[in-house]
Amino acid sequence: MKVTILQFPGTNCEYDTQHAFESLGAETEIVWHKAESLPSDTDLLVVAGGFSYGDYLRSGAIAKFSPVMKVVTEYANKGGKVLGICNGFQVLTEAGLLPGALKRNDGLHFISKHHTLKVENNNNIFLEKLNNGDLVNIPIAHHDGNYFIDEKGLANLEANNQILLRYTDVNGAIQNPNGSISSIAGVCNKSKNVFGLMPHPERAMESILGSDDGIKMLQGFLES
């Protein structure tokens, strides 16, 4: 399997992401944001985390104008699998490839810690290795992770099983770290080929570092 990873000025998780997928047996390639095409053998495109363009203006708002985003949109619209992690999630919402938007955390502080997530919908290639209701321990590290969507949009997410993950405590009760509506930590598009989440599964690949729960989150892509 070939995983292509995007790199913008300010991206800082591309090598973590590369390591994570290579540890699962995938071939990877990092592509600079000025590229006007993607490798033809791309099976999964990952928009990695970090601070694209320093998060100036608004997180992801400048990155959406990079040349590579035109081909990312074409790739996604043709059914290609896309995963946005943290800043990558922000980029995908700004580009209109995922519904909703990411705002400043309610507490106005950068949050960096492990946090429990509950799997809400596993009827997709991203989370198919997990069960609905499973709890996973995944790091979060963001300043603008407050997911927002209007009431109609939220109802559509619920109806189409597009809500992937929610923030909870270790017992599965809602525990919202950033103010996200309905405690949402990740969503997908209606066609279930574009995925985005604020937490970092690529940083949860080894138990010695606090958790290896990210393995099952990423394995689904490799076996789809």
**Residues for the chain: how many in total?**
224
Alpha-carbon dihedral sign for residues 215, 143, 164, 43: negative
pLDDT, mean of residues 182-205: 98
pLDDT digits (tens, 9 = 90+) for 150-189: 999 999 999 999 999 999 999 999 999 999 999 999 999 9
- Residues 126-141 have a mean pLDDT of 97
Catalytic residue among 13, 86, 94, 115: 86
Q: Would you say residue 223 has pLDDT above 80?
A: no
142 is catalytic: no
* Predicted confidence (pLDDT) per residue in 31-71, tens digit: 999 999 999 999 999 999 999 998 888 899 999 999 999 99
CA-to-CA distance for 198 and 187, rounded, in angstroms?
10
Q: Is the pLDDT of residue 216 over 90?
A: yes
Contact (Cβ atoms closer than 8 angstroms) between residue 20 and residue 212: no
pLDDT computed for residue 224 by the predictor: 65
Structural domains of the chain sorted by starting position, each given as residue range(s) with its CATH number in brackets: 2-222 (3.40.50.880)
Q: 3-class DSSP state for residue 40?
A: coil
* DSSP H stretches of helix in 84-213: 87-94, 151-159
pLDDT score recorded for residue 56: 84
Segment 8-31 shows an average pLDDT of: 97
**Residues 115-120: what's their mean pLDDT?**
98
pLDDT of residue 58: 83
Report the pLDDT averaged over residues 4-15: 97
> Does the annotation count 86 as an active-site position?
yes
